[in-house]
Structure 1
Amino acid sequence: MFDATITPHRSLGPNGFRIVMTLVCLASIVSSIPFVVLGAWPVAGFFGIDVLALFIAFHVNFRHARAFERIIVTPIEVFLRKVSHHGREAIWRSNPAWTKLERVDDEDYGLLGLSLVSRGQRVAVASQLSPREREGFADALGSALASARRGADLGAV
Structure 2
Amino acid sequence: MSAICKPAPVSEAANPDQALFDAELTPHRSLSPRGFLILMTSVCAISFAGGLAFWLSGAWPVIGFLGADVLLIYLAFKINYRRGRLVERLHLTHDKLTVSRVWPGGRSASWEFQPTWLQVICDTPERNQGTVNAVADNPLILRSHGRNLAIGSFLTQQERSEVAAALRQALVRAQRPCRPA
On whether the aligned pair clears a TM of 0.5, the verdict is yes
Q: Map 1:8-157 to 2 at 5 A.
A: 8-108=27-127, 109=132, 112-150=138-176, 153-155=177-179
Give the alignment's Cα RMSD to 1 decimal.
1.8
Identify the range of structure 1 (91-100 vs 22-31) with the bigger mean alpha-carbon deviation: 91-100
Measure, in 1, the Cα distance between the counterparts of 2:89 and 2:173.
Answer: 19
2:178 maps to a residue whose letter is: L
- More helix by percentage: 1
Q: Which region of structure 1 is more displaced relative to structure 2, 105-114 or 139-148?
A: 105-114
> Normalising by structure 2, what TM-score?
0.78
**Structure 2 spans left out of the alignment, 5+ residues:** 1-19
Partner of 1:112: helix, strand, or coil? coil
Q: CA deviation at 1:99?
A: 1.6
d(CA) in 1 for partners of 2:103 and 2:96? 23
The Cα of 1:37 is off from its aligned counterpart by: 1.6
Partners of 2:162 and 2:137 in 1: CA distance: 10
Alpha-carbon separation, structure 1, partners of 2:25 and 2:124:
20
- Could you tell which deviates more after superposition, 5-14 or 94-103? 94-103
Verify the 8 A CA contact 1:104 1:111 in the aligned structure 2.
no
Higher relative contact order (CA 8 A, sep 6+): 2
Question: What SS is found at the alignment partner of 2:75?
Answer: helix
CA contact 1:105–1:113 (8 Å) conserved in 2: no
TM-score by length of 1: 0.90
| C-alpha contact (below 8 Å) 1:111/1:132 kept by paired residues | no
Judged with a 3 Å threshold, the aligned counterparts in structure 2 of structure 1 residues 127 and 16 are, in CA distance, closer, same or farther, namely same
Matched residue SS, 1:4: strand
1:155 Cα offset (Å): 5.0
How many corresponding residue pairs?
Answer: 154
The percent identity for this pair of structures is 40
SS in structure 2 opposite 1:106?
A: coil
Q: 2-side partners of 1:140 and 1:49: how far apart?
A: 46
SS of the residue aligned with 1:3? strand
